[in-house]
Amino acid sequence: MVESGNMAKEKWKSDCVNIRSNGRTEQIKRENAEHRLSILSIVYNPTAHPTSYLDTLVNMLKGNVGCGILAMGDAFKNGGLFLSPVLTFIIGIICVYNQHVLVQCSKSVKQKLKLQHNPQFAETVELSFETGPQRFQSYSVFFRNSVNSFIVITQLGFCCVYILFVSKSIQQMLSWYNIQLDVHVSILITMVPIMISSLIRSLKFIARLSAIANVCMLVGLVVILYYCTVDLPPLSSRSAIAHWTTIPLYFGTSIFSFEGISLVLPLEQEMKKPKQFSTAFGVLNVGMVIVTSLIVLTGFMGYWRFGDAVRGSLTLNLPEEFLLSKVVISSMMFGIICTYTLQFYVPVEILWPKVEQRFGPFRSPLLWDTGLRVVLVLITFIAADVIPHLSLFISMMGAVASTFLALIFPPLCHMAVTSADDGGNGYGLFNWRLAMNCVTLVLGALGFVTGTYASVYEIFGAFQKVAVTAAVTNTTGNNYTAPGVH
């Protein structure tokens, strides 16, 4: 076991520890190796200086407040006005538990293998399995690749949602000037600024864009919540508990809104006092209480105000006559485009070493890097164009990718580490941690299956409605009446 641990340690440290400074080339190699080991930390917290409690709390809020929270009105429509808050708080508690589990596992493998660096998400999962019981060890590489794959899928899924958000907002604003734009055309228009922003490679410049995006999103969210308090209908006019067939759609959207698990380890490791992260009143608990409260407040007020007419993003419900509508939507669009650049940076950094290994060395790395970025952007646009339904896309991405990252991998990782450390005796009184892990895994599997099925079913249904509408329009134009259609 010691030999295996040393091999694992050398495997992950070799790029940083064994590179000797020999001129400018070796310095660049060392910097690139350190960069890859902490890519998520660099992306979401680009400063090299340790952060305070307040700085880390702000960064956590920044990483969890995005398009997902604007879709919670639609989620509450699918769950019910009074059932949804209860379910959201339960999901929030489970997500916080899994985030604590991930931090604990990262510290455990670092201490066990005496690593000089802090392992990130995928590395923590791999080393947990690699140093765990015999039955876990053969799956270590598979789970590392799975985590990286789901991170890439999740980040690119966020990018698809951002594209749909911007394109729908363009449609909405042009319609106020009596310009009706096809959704596919609006997506093509959206491609221009996003393609330009995706070619930005400077982390310093991306950090500045991120700061601007934060201000835009915060101002927009405050104004939207204010508008939701105007002319509220009676509570009795809203469904307290939705039909059980739509609850899986609620689950996918709510999981998507808790989108910050990839931030947990980088934020904790960048703190001046990391112990302040996981305490009872630490950054993680306080931050997630605020995030969960914002999610519940936005979803509750959105559905209460707009009812069944609530859209996939609350910005789409803002009317033209509302004085600040154009300002809010414009600022949110700009903020989302800036956020696209930030989210897009992560899959590029994960995939680029794979491209180098498969096709390198390159005579012109910059050209290949640009090619990779263009291809990934086109993939996100094709996916957004194929499924131009914002709320359904959010629900599907939450059910497919976010469920695995937030609910599946952390408990599996914890079970591997705990079983290896003390024969499974570290699960607490009455094995409550083991029970919690099992409940989380069951919830994750159930949410994945039902949420994915419901999302795909609704997406096919939406396309079917479009096809029927087009057929009716064509037959009406030819003076025919479609059978059974009146």
Report the range of poorest mean pLDDT among 22-26, 87-91, 112-116, 186-190.
22-26
The residue-averaged pLDDT of 431-459 equals 89
Q: Percent of the chain beyond pLDDT 90? A: 35
Q: How far from 316 is each of 41, 215, 380, 416, 428, CA to CA, in Å? A: 33, 20, 22, 45, 48
143 by DSSP, 3-state: which?
Answer: helix
Spans of all domains in the chain: 48-421+428-463
Average predicted confidence (pLDDT) for the chain: 82
- For 48-421+428-463, CATH gives 1.20.1740.10
What integer pLDDT is reported at residue 14 of this predicted model?
45
Q: Percent of the chain beyond pLDDT 70? A: 84
8, pLDDT greater than 50: no
Higher pLDDT, 18 or 391: 391
Task: Give pTM, 2 decimals.
Answer: 0.79
What integer pLDDT is reported at residue 425 of this predicted model?
64
What integer pLDDT is reported at residue 241 of this predicted model?
94
Closest CA to 16 of 107, 117, 120: 117
Q: How many CA atoms lie less than 13 Å away from 404 in the CB half-sphere? A: 21
The residue-averaged pLDDT of 229-244 equals 92
Among 51-65, 74-88, 176-190, the range of highest mean pLDDT: 74-88
Band (39; pLDDT cuts 50, 70, 90): very low
Band (421; pLDDT cuts 50, 70, 90): low
What integer pLDDT is reported at residue 423 of this predicted model?
55
Higher pLDDT, 338 or 238: 238
Report the range of poorest mean pLDDT among 266-280, 412-426, 445-459.
412-426
| pLDDT tens string 312-346 | 889 999 998 888 898 899 988 888 888 888 788 88
Could you write out the DSSP letters of every residue in 199-267? T---HHHHHHHHHHHHHHHHHHHHHHHHHHTTTPPPGGGS-SS--TTTHHHHHHHHHHHS--GGGHHHH
What integer pLDDT is reported at residue 466 of this predicted model?
67
Please count the residues of the chain: 486
| pLDDT tens string 295-312 | 999 999 999 999 999 998
CB atoms near residue 104 (< 10 Å): 18
24, pLDDT greater than 50: no
The residue-averaged pLDDT of 344-369 equals 88
What integer pLDDT is reported at residue 240 of this predicted model?
94
